[in-house]
Chain A
Amino acid sequence: MRVPDLIRFARDAATGSPLRTSLLVLAVAIGVAAVVVLTALGDGARRYVVNEFSSIGSNLVIVLPGRSETGGFNPANAITSTPRDLTVEDARALLRGTAIRRLAPLVIGTSEISVGGKLREVIVAGTTSQFIEVRRLSLAQGRFLSEEDWGRGSAEAVIGAKIRDELFGSEPALGKLVRIGDRRCRIVGVLAASGQGLGMNNDELVIVPVALAQAMFNSNTLFRILVEARNREAIPAAKAQAEEILKLRHDGELDVTVITQDGVLATFDRLLGVLTLGVAGIAAISMAVAGILVMNVMLVSVAQRTAEIGLLKALGATGRTIRMAFLAEATMLSLAGAVVGYVLGQAGAALIRHLYPTFPAYPPTWAVLAGLVTALASGILFGVAPARRAAALDPVQALSKR
């Protein structure tokens, strides 16, 4: 039998029973669509988190006080290692690192801001003028903290967009004096609204010079030092230099933890990648179910068409021809299902993107390919048994069925 004839014969056989065919195509389509939509969700979540992380700032290396050990509790540590504080001087020393472009020390605390009888609890960040570049923030009005000696602590503050709205409404905020905790500060700038950032909401932040914040919270330790490496390639060097400089300053003991944004990102990436895989696995089960359905329907089809199979044998069809015809039909059905499912899945993902514009629900290419291939493979695989049964039919018995 020629290939075009085979394909046409199988097509006619499939379209000869439209209900059976459409149900089967639907089953396969649902399987493929499930893979596409679910992996779009999983991968969308991964992209979303990665994007959020990237928005913190690029080429970021973060220094935390204290050493996170994973060796379990060591009694010697209990006596000897008291983590030294991270100080402004430590931050200043880090500027010597050749791989470090700029940095910003960070002190965090909660306080109250009040103006004209309005009072609000806020998170106060004490830092330096470079913070705005390190964190890639932008200003809506005024200027950021002035370039000055880190120990000075001028009484000036930069406030988030939401704070401005709540405290001043439509009145101008620039140049106004506010009370933050027990200090009076002048507002020199307003941050541009940036929405919800990961971990910290910049719209509800009040930024003051680091020395002022330390005085306010009566402490001389830093919460973090945010370090920006010269470029992406310099991130490992920046990390090594930061560790080395701080180790020297801390009597040869490495009592700080230096994490890179990449490291955090990679962890999340891995985590959510596994999630996507798991989701894809669940979707694959529906594909297997669809495959079994293909087999079932094809077996029914063989039973319904015994007379035809017997006739084909009488007319000189070899077992191979009959096997090929049924296999071609199964392949065609699963191919149609795969295509329909692909279109449905992409439409579903597009719908999700339309409803939640911030959520990048794009199915990953590997998942789409795997979905299509699995659908085809399961259709063919589960089509083999019915095809073999058809080919093995006894023509005499098949023909005697009228």
Chain B
Amino acid sequence: MSAAQIELSGIERVFRLGDSEVHALRHLDVSIAPGEYVAVMGPSGSGKSTLLNLLGLLDRPNAGVYRLEGRDVTTLSPEEQARVRSERIGFVFQSFHLVPRLTAAENIALPMMLAGIPPRERADRVACALKDYGLENRAGHRPDQLSGGQRQRVAIARATIMRPAVILADEPTGNLDRATGEEVIRLLEQLNGSGVTVIIVTHDPVLGGHARRQLLMEDGALQHDSAREGAA
């Protein structure tokens, strides 16, 4: 496992709520190889979302080291972290987080626009993505004109448009019915099949069961890692 894509060692994350301290993550050591399909599970408040935010460089640990592709990213400046997010990480959220005033195509193009990619290349890649996700005739629609499944497809297209190495999905099916949820999972699994590391946070055991590796969190600590169990 020397070529681990994601390597967390001794990660601590403490929130201060008034006088009391809440340990959202306690001494976490996890290592994830490229192309893995990981489900992070656990009851609410177990720290799984905090873990995902850390992995996505939206949050910083109080202690410990996070290496992404061999590079210590915890010490990077905010601007450098933004670059890493832009190029290496894609987010899929439970509530989609589409920009309501932008069309589906514009939402998909948003990361490329922020990265300063020329409009011509953007248009090509968006057209391609719309086709891949079956959204061709929804390109000009705003999010409120799309169904939940379509919205999440737009969100996934947006997450993958920069061709990231890691997709982080926070309860991606939480706001969807079972059928559309399964469709979204299939999309994520297809992505994983093409070599992208997929990390899903969920408390749905069925969904978690799909993943090849399960991490069970409780009280900010790793309770169970199916990979280690398999190794043991």
Interface set of A (CB-CB < 8 Å, partner B): 1-2, 5, 9, 12-13, 16, 307-308, 310-321, 395-396, 399, 402
Contacts and interface: CB of A to CB of B under 8 A. Distances in A.
A402 B100 CA distance: 13
Nearest to B175: A402
Interface of B: 53, 56, 58-59, 78-79, 82-83, 85-87, 91, 93, 95, 97, 99-102, 110-111, 113-116, 118-119, 158, 162
A122 B158 CA distance: 91
Contact of B56 (A13, A314, A317, A319): A314
Contact of B114 (A12, A13, A308, A315): A315
Nearest to A317: B114
Contact of B91 (A9, A307, A315): A315
Contacts of A395: 58
A313 B116 contact: no
B78 A318 contact: yes
B145 to A, nearest CB: 16
Contacts of A307: 97
Contacts of A317: 82, 86, 114
Contact of A396 (B53, B86, B99, B113): B53
Contact of B82 (A9, A13, A319, A396): A319
A402 B116 contact: no
B188 to A, nearest CB: 17
A308 B110 CA distance: 12
A316 B82 contact: yes
A321 B87 CA distance: 16
Contacts of A318: 78-79, 82-83
A314 B85 contact: yes
Nearest to A2: B116
When A and B form their complex, which 8 residue pairs have the shortest distance between CB atoms, in order from nearest?
A: A316-B86, A16-B101, A318-B82, A316-B85, A315-B111, A395-B58, A317-B114, A311-B97
Contacts, number: 68
A316 B115 contact: yes
Contacts of B95: 402
Contacts of A312: 110, 114
B85 A9 contact: no
B116 A1 contact: yes
A316 B101 contact: no
A311 B113 CA distance: 14
A396 B24 CA distance: 14
A12 B107 CA distance: 13
B97 A399 contact: yes
Contacts of A308: 99
Name A's interface SS: helix
B225 to A, nearest CB: 24
Contacts of B83: 316, 318
Nearest to B109: A5
Contacts of B162: 316
Contacts of A2: 113, 116, 118-119
Given A12-B102, A315-B110, A315-B114, 16 more contacts: A1-B115, A1-B116, A2-B119, A5-B119, A16-B101, A311-B99, A315-B85, A315-B91, A316-B87, A317-B114, A319-B78, A321-B114, A395-B58, A396-B53, A399-B58, A399-B93
Contacts of B99: 308, 311
Contacts of A13: 101
B17 to A, nearest CB: 13
Nearest to A400: B49
Nearest to A8: B113
B69 to A, nearest CB: 16
21 contacts: A9-B113, A13-B101, A312-B110, A313-B58, A313-B82, A315-B86, A315-B110, A315-B111, A315-B158, A316-B82, A316-B87, A316-B111, A316-B114, A316-B162, A318-B78, A318-B82, A318-B83, A319-B82, A320-B79, A321-B114, A399-B58
A2 B109 CA distance: 13
B91 A314 contact: yes
A396 B86 CA distance: 16
Contacts of B86: 315-317
A18 to B, nearest CB: 11
Contacts of B78: 318-319
B101 A12 contact: yes
B93 A5 contact: no
A266 B93 CA distance: 72
A251 to B, nearest CB: 88
A316 B99 CA distance: 15
Given A315-B85, A315-B86, A1 B58 contact: no
Nearest to B164: A316
Contacts of B58: 313-314, 395-396, 399
Nearest to A315: B111
A21 B111 CA distance: 26
Contacts of B79: 318-320
B115 to A, nearest CB: 6
